[in-house]
Structure 1
Amino acid sequence: MSTPRTALVTGASSGIGLATARRLLDRGYRVIGTSRNPDEVPDSARPEGLRYRTLDLRDQHSIDGFAGALYAEDIHVDILVNNAGESQSGPLEEIPLAALERIFQINVLGPVHLTQLLLPGMRRRGYGRVVMVSSMLASFPLAYRSSYVASKAALEGFATAARFEMSPFGVWLTTVEPGSIKTGISTRRTKYVADDSPHLPAMKKMLKTLDGNEREGVAPERVARTIVDAIEEKAPASLYAVGSNAPAVFALRRALPRGAIERVVGRMYGIRSGSIAR
């Protein structure tokens, strides 16, 4: 019997990460999950066989030490699911520079650096799968989510370009774009907007719709199925989208001009061009 492949899932203590870890375990993979504080992960998020390790994507030393420990212990990661991330909202003119730097470190630079450290081993062994968990907002940008949208689009850019570099070696990079998913992320989203901001009414309207969509969204297990299906493809596609009526929405995106799509997305969230009083 062949040795099971080893999968690493970041942000595996809840939501999409935990659902993906569970599905990989059910499929016979060995799974390592990461958390900034593994000791605080509740028993309900510790399925049998899931091993947690400490990883803080905000800290390059944590990333280097994490990957170094894997190599020192002769643990070969065959599959990397870059799931951990931060959700952020706010008018572009009001988001502090420190907040922008943090979200790009967590959502882009941290996952990309971890990927860089694990790719050589995958290439040498002739097999690897890297899944970047992005967001449908990367394809359908939304007002007051600019920092989040930009970070997820950047993550996709790395995966889309690098797949051409790595696929000749049997290593495939792909992106999964979830739509509205019931993960409770709306309660953890960081928000930057002043009490007297001219953007506050429109942003509140957008967030009310966004939070409602997430409460009614698909379960994280549905996203996990898509992630694992992509992993098990012989040649994974560049992009998979799941939730928020993805097939119909992407078909509409192909059929309509970009400006029309932007107006449709804006109206869905109660935002219209020129609707904010000066």
Structure 2
Amino acid sequence: MPDSSNSSAEPVSAASGGPPTGARPAGTVLVTGATSGIGLAVARLFVDRGVRVLGTSRNPDDIPLPDRVPGVTYLALDQSDPASVQACAKAAGPVDLLVNNAGHSQGGALEDLPEEHLEQLFRINVLGPVALARAVLPAMRAAGHGRLIFVGSLMAEFPVPFQGSYAASKLALRGFVTALRTEVAPFGIQATLVQPAYYRSAIDRHRAWHTRPDSPYRDRLGVVSARVRAQHQSAADPAEVAERIWRLGRAARMPVVSMIGGNGGTLRFVRRFLPDRVAERLVARRYGL
């Protein structure tokens, strides 16, 4: 689903790219999933603006040359492995800003999703990012400052049929972030959730669509998967999201949720007054059902 700007971040000077008055410049930034899509765009932007960037990849030694950003220090991270998360946090050391971006997607009827794949998705999209945030928080508390930016999806607001597991994982992130904000505020730490629409990334190429040859859902799944692929083929430049994350990282006050791309802010406002059944029909129609 599309989404749009809903940020209360302070404006950043277009000429200098500097922070608004009173904002603390980011020192060290840890960006997960820094080799494609939004994560790659964030790493490039922050390096270009003179920030020390640590970027993660499942296999740093295998990153293709075009996806390596000069100036980024790459760390290994498998978000589905708790030991890997802890090792990454230890290697990173204290960070001023964590951009929890890495994630995975899958599709399929709930009845057809293999349970082990469903559990793996939640380990990657929810438990891994939460564990990494937990690991960096003690140093942030000791320093008296820190920023946590989680990358979610507008699909949490408008779940798409046959992508319920992905939408649920992103909705879970919102719950963690909303509660976390009040927990960490006394220690000078802020957290926010960015909910982008479709932006160019490798997630579509890596998404698995689960079905069975005799599945009663197979034809309708094919319709939705085709619509999703078409959306990704015409997706926007992830540099837009990177710019938003830059502004959020330097905002005097971070919003609870920041939406970007595809008129999502308008949709979210309208959704407040829209009956659930009407919203359900609108999403189904958009995806050909």
SS at match of 1:92: coil
Taking only aligned residues, the RMSD between alpha carbons, in angstroms, comes to 1.5
Q: 1:1-278 residue pairs with structure 2 within 5 A?
A: 5-70=27-92, 75-271=93-289
Query: Residue 11 of structure 1 contacts residue 18 of structure 1 at CA under 8 Å; is this kept in 2?
Result: yes
Q: Note the residue ranges of structure 2 that are not aligned, 5 or more in a row.
A: 1-23
SS in 1 for 2:98: strand
**How far does residue 194 in structure 1 lie from its aligned partner after superposition?**
0.7
Identical columns (%): 42
* Structure showing greater relative contact order (alpha-carbon pairs closer than 8 Å, 6 or more residues apart): 2
What residue ranges of structure 1 are gaps of 5+ in the alignment? Answer: 272-278
Structure 2: distance between partners of 1:227 and 1:10 = 13
Look up the match of 1:275: none
The one-letter code matched in structure 1 to 2:50 is: G
1:185 & 1:33 partners in 2: Cα distance?
17
Matched letter for residue 138 of structure 1: A
Where 1:208 maps in the other structure, the secondary structure is helix
Supply the AA of the counterpart residue of 1:52: Y
Q: Distance in 2 between matches of 1:3 and 1:50?
A: 18
Q: How many residues in Structure 1 have an aligned counterpart in Structure 2?
A: 266
SS of structure 1 residue aligned to 2:111: helix
Q: Aligned equivalents of 1:172 and 1:79: distance in 2?
A: 10
Offset, 1:185: 2.2
CA contact (8 A) 2:99 2:148 kept: yes
The residue aligned with 1:276 is: none
SS for the counterpart of 2:55 is strand
Deviation per CA, 1:92-123: give whole Å up to 9, x if none: 01111100110011001111011001011111
- Cα deviation, 1:227-260, whole Å, max 9, x if unaligned, reads 1211111110010111122232223213322221
Distance 1:21 1:155 in 2: 22
Closer, same or farther in 2 for the Cα pair 1:4/1:173, shift >3 Å?
closer
**CA distance in 2: counterparts of 1:195 and 1:178, whole angstroms:** 33
Residue 98 of structure 2 contacts residue 149 of structure 2 at CA under 8 Å; is this kept in 1? yes
Distance in 2 (alpha carbons) for counterparts of 1:47 and 1:86:
22
Structure 2 CA distance, aligned partners of 1:226 and 1:262? 29
Matched-pair contact (CA < 8 Å) for 2:57–2:75: yes
Kindly provide the amino acid, as one letter, of the partner of residue 31 in structure 2.
V
**Aligned mates of 2:116, 2:27 — CA distance in 1:** 39
User: Displacement of 1:146 after TM fit?
Assistant: 1.1
> Which structure dedicates a bigger proportion of its chain to helix?
1
- How many Å separate the matches in 1 of 2:216 and 2:173? 31
